[in-house]
Amino acid sequence: MITLKELADRCGVSTATVSNAINGKSNISESTKMRILQMIEETGYKPNFMARNLRVNSKRTIGLIIEELSAFTSPAIIEGIMRYFEAQKYETILYNMRVYSNLNWMDDEKFLQSGVNNAVDELLSKQVNGIIHVAEHSRKLKYYNHILPVPVVISYAYTDERKLPYVSIDDETSTVKMAEYILSKGHTKIAMICGLNDNLHAQKRYNSFKRVLKEHNIHFDEDLCVFVNWTRDAGKEAAAKVLKKGVTAVFCHNDFLAAGVYDYLYEHNMQPGKDLFVTGFDDHIVSSYLHPGITTMKLPLLEIGRKSAELMDNLLKSDAKYGIEGFEIPCELIAR
Amino acid sequence: MITLKELADRCGVSTATVSNAINGKSNISESTKMRILQMIEETGYKPNFMARNLRVNSKRTIGLIIEELSAFTSPAIIEGIMRYFEAQKYETILYNMRVYSNLNWMDDEKFLQSGVNNAVDELLSKQVNGIIHVAEHSRKLKYYNHILPVPVVISYAYTDERKLPYVSIDDETSTVKMAEYILSKGHTKIAMICGLNDNLHAQKRYNSFKRVLKEHNIHFDEDLCVFVNWTRDAGKEAAAKVLKKGVTAVFCHNDFLAAGVYDYLYEHNMQPGKDLFVTGFDDHIVSSYLHPGITTMKLPLLEIGRKSAELMDNLLKSDAKYGIEGFEIPCELIAR
DNA sequence: CTGAAAGCGCTTACAG
DNA sequence: CTGAAAGCGCTTACAG
């Protein structure tokens, strides 16, 4: 590829003049500018990004650490972030940790920590002005205990490290909405199929649901609740247990669990929606393809991304690195 | 952020020595190396990627132009590409065109062309050694008619421009598999709900299906075929037309169309799989959540990515820019 | 309006 | 084993 210097030689001008022409400076005659631009066209010259950015040191670049690009939540969060930053004329760089195939995910926090360290090193060496960490699933992160020279925002997860700002979902109000919706349908004996019990979301949803029932003077029966893995199979198994107890509705902590309940119902010749009212959580695309479509809470993924970007933008503007609290965004009830 | 020169000053050595220490050169005493590494630890020094790459000019970097990161096909294709290149020690840079929100997609090829031009300019200015274009949906691309200084590979689409290599799916053999599977179930009166009739896949699937029927001496009835938009709603509408004609099976050109057929059946109190045998295409995640799960052809997305990366790698090794033909990878039958 | 020169943060022969 | 010096491809005062 031709360089700016060669271009200058061909035009018979200095590199400074070419640079001015390219960058639209006003101190240049129309004729030489034209000559240069035409030569650029002819030669297919492209400025070298590395060289340029080495020289001018304000880059407006945000690094995104994506734990897993293939996670169903990631693309929408990224879209929210990019949409914001594109409007604000920031550039974004993606680093995909690929935890599904790279690490013994879940099993080894040490691997994850070193994966994050690698990501941070790479992004910092690319001179990003800030880092947004997009989690594969929402949990409490603890990978940023050492101080970085740029601000960090946690997206779709919590953290209490160094008062890092984070953006996650508001489980309390979301669960309240869902619980009241279920109650409004006249159900009083309601099962709850919860996610893993060491999970913050499962805990919050469990507690909020319990509270709503109490507020409505409905007996909360511990026996109608199970904590299981977040999968379709686990949902099916859980349904077997819980349905024996004569419930008329079941609140599932995600859509896959709900799909598992559907599986159980189909297998036992029962009709979801009729013989049992089932609700999910996430508004994963499958929730509208189950039959009948399932009522669920829509994760505000775009908004999580947008808000994360906005927090970063504010941090950068104020030159602060910490001090902003976390944000929790309510989900939207999708009744089906 | 501290620079290499400052680091050198603090250690009382030259920048050359620090550079050697960092890059693990052997010509350096253990003691000074230790001293330097420790200082790096203390100061949190990170090498400046821009400066380094400006100096050494072999970067092993591949640029990925992603038309739409949110497309359901994109993450798996990207994963296939990244997995390959990570093993080969290439770096990858993502450029997300975001066609869903940026462009009047489908309606204006001029916008798309300029979007691709921007992407190419940015990646070239970042000195990539090659570009892989990952399409949002498979079609015939024509954005690369001007010659680029690096090789280009088209992923999940076709092209006949400049003999650019491409990787797409093999509709012929995939359709043959599916058709024979449907026939093996004893169906002879089979409808086909096709994608849009200007679409290459729709055309190939239509033709292949027709051919298989003829080979089996089964009358091919043009009236049982409709060409519609690739959506769930269109599938439902199409079902209304086609089912009146007394078919026992329907081959849909994607899973959303098949879901639309399910919608129609449910609404008319018919049972998919029993009253009508329905098959889809893509193995989109929803296909296993429809009830009953739908038989479909799995898009070889990981393999498309892997193969695209391999083609690029070969191109780079051979220093050729063109001359490799396209590859078409068969889909896998997922019987449900 | 144009050009000579310095410098961004590194690496790489080369000399010692 | 270590350092002085040149240079990667740009931009930016500054002088003219």
Angle at A323 between CA B2 and CA A122, to 5 degrees: 35
Same domain, A69 and A156: yes
Confidence of residue A222 (pLDDT cuts 50, 70, 90): very high
Give the C-alpha separation, B226 to B205, whole Å.
12
Q: Which residues contact A128 (CB under 8 A, 6 or more apart)?
A: A59, A61, A62, A63, A93, A150
Q: Is the CB of A32 under 7 A from strand D?
A: no
DSSP B196: -
Q: Is A294 exposed, middle or buried (0-12, 13-18, 19+ CB in 10 A)?
A: buried
Q: Do A51 and B53 touch (CB under 8 A)?
A: no
Global confidence as pTM: 0.94
Confidence of residue A146 (pLDDT cuts 50, 70, 90): confident
Cα-trace Rg, chain A: 26
Nearest to A207 by CA among A228, A188, A186, A179: A179
Average pLDDT, chain A: 92
Same domain, A254 and A143: no
Domain that holds residue B30: 4-47
Model pLDDT, residue A325: 78
Tokens of A24: 């639209």
Q: Is the CB of B17 under 7 A from strand D?
A: yes
Give the C-alpha separation, B88 to B86, whole Å.
5
Model pLDDT, residue A322: 57
Give the C-alpha separation, B101 to B97, whole Å.
9
Cβ count near A147 (within 10 Å): 10
Nearest to A116 by CA among A76, A90, A146: A146
Do the domain assignments include residue A8? yes
Residue with tokens 């008619």: B145
A57, pLDDT greater than 90: no
A162, pLDDT greater than 80: no
Same domain, A39 and A76: no
Do the domain assignments include residue A54? no
Same domain, A113 and A146: yes
Q: Does any CB of chain A come closer than 8 Å to the CB of residue B298?
A: no
How many residues are listed for chain A in this entry? 336
Angle at B106 between CA B102 and CA B111, to 5 degrees: 50
Nucleotide D5, nearest residue via CA and C1': B16
Q: State the average pLDDT over residues A316-321.
A: 76
The answer to whether B168 and B326 have CB atoms below 8 angstroms apart is yes
Of B6, B91, B99, B125, which to mutate for an interface test with A (greatest number of A Cβ within 10 Å)? B125
In chain A, which residues have their Cβ closer than 8 Å to the Cβ of B1?
124, 127, 149
Q: Is the CB of B57 under 7 A from strand D?
A: yes
The answer to whether B131 and B61 have CB atoms below 8 angstroms apart is no
Give the C-alpha separation, A171 to B308, whole Å.
42
> For B118, what's the count of Cα atoms within 13 Å in the CB-facing half-sphere?
15
A25, pLDDT greater than 90: no
Model pLDDT, residue A323: 61
Do the domain assignments include residue A336? no
Q: Does any CB of chain A come closer than 8 Å to the CB of residue B200?
A: no
Give the C-alpha separation, B183 to B211, whole Å.
13
Confidence of residue A106 (pLDDT cuts 50, 70, 90): low
The answer to whether B141 and B116 have CB atoms below 8 angstroms apart is no
Q: Is B285 exposed, middle or buried (0-12, 13-18, 19+ CB in 10 A)?
A: middle
Same domain, A247 and A280: yes
Model pLDDT, residue A147: 84
Of B6, B40, B49, B147, which to mutate for an interface test with A (greatest number of A Cβ within 10 Å)? B49
Q: Do B47 and A289 touch (CB under 8 A)?
A: no
Do the domain assignments include residue A53? no
Q: B249 by DSSP, 3-state: which?
A: strand
Model pLDDT, residue B320: 66
Q: B185 by DSSP, 3-state: which?
A: coil
Nucleotide C13, nearest residue via CA and C1': B16
Q: Do A79 and B94 touch (CB under 8 A)?
A: no
Q: State the average pLDDT over residues A4-15.
A: 92
Model pLDDT, residue A30: 87
Model pLDDT, residue B321: 58
In chain B, which residues have their Cβ closer than 8 Å to the Cβ of A50?
50-51, 53-54, 126-127
Query: Which nucleotides of chain C have an atom under 7 angstroms from any protein CB?
Result: 1-14
Model pLDDT, residue A105: 59
In chain B, which residues have their Cβ closer than 8 Å to the Cβ of A286?
285-286, 289
Same domain, A130 and A193: no
Do the domain assignments include residue A269? yes
Same domain, A65 and A39: no
The answer to whether B132 and B309 have CB atoms below 8 angstroms apart is yes
- Interstrand relation of A166-170 and A225-227 (parallel, antiparallel or unpaired): unpaired
Nucleotide D12, nearest residue via CA and C1': A16
Q: Is the CB of A73 under 7 A from strand D?
A: no
HEC per residue, A89-150? CCEEEEEECCHHHHCCCCCCHHHHHHHHHHHHHHHHHCCCCEEEEECCCCCEECCCCCCCCC
Q: B252 by DSSP, 3-state: which?
A: strand
The B residues from 118 to 177 touching A (CB cutoff 8 Å) are: 121-122, 124-127, 146, 149
Instruction: Indicate the number of domains in chain A.
Output: 3
Distances (CA, A) of B36 to A117, A126, A309, B13, B19: 20, 22, 37, 9, 10
Please state, for a pLDDT cut of 90, what percent of chain A lies above it.
Answer: 78
Do the domain assignments include residue B245? yes
Do the domain assignments include residue A213? yes
Same domain, B311 and B286: no
Tell me the CATH number at B207.
Answer: 3.40.50.2300
Same domain, B153 and B257: no
Q: State the average pLDDT over residues A147-154.
A: 91
Angle at A289 between CA A285 and CA A291, to 5 degrees: 145
In chain B, which residues have their Cβ closer than 8 Å to the Cβ of A52?
125
Q: Between B44, B69, B286, which is nearest A149 by CB?
A: B44
Confidence of residue A59 (pLDDT cuts 50, 70, 90): confident
Same domain, A278 and A250: yes
The answer to whether A285 and B282 have CB atoms below 8 angstroms apart is no
Same domain, A70 and A142: yes
Same domain, B253 and B322: no
Confidence of residue A207 (pLDDT cuts 50, 70, 90): very high
pLDDT in tens, B50-88: 899 899 876 789 999 999 999 999 999 999 999 999 999
Give the C-alpha separation, B68 to A193, whole Å.
35
Q: State the average pLDDT over residues A272-288.
A: 96
First and final C-alpha spacing in chain A: 57
- Amino acid (1-letter code) at residue B17: T
Q: Say how far B127 CA is from C7 C1', in Å.
A: 22
For residue A280, report the phi and psi dihedrals to the nearest 5 degrees.
Answer: -120, -160
Do the domain assignments include residue B52? no
Q: State the average pLDDT over residues A52-62.
A: 86
Model pLDDT, residue A243: 92
Tell me the CATH number at B33.
Answer: 1.10.260.40
Which stretches of chain B drop beneath a pLDDT of 50?
A: none
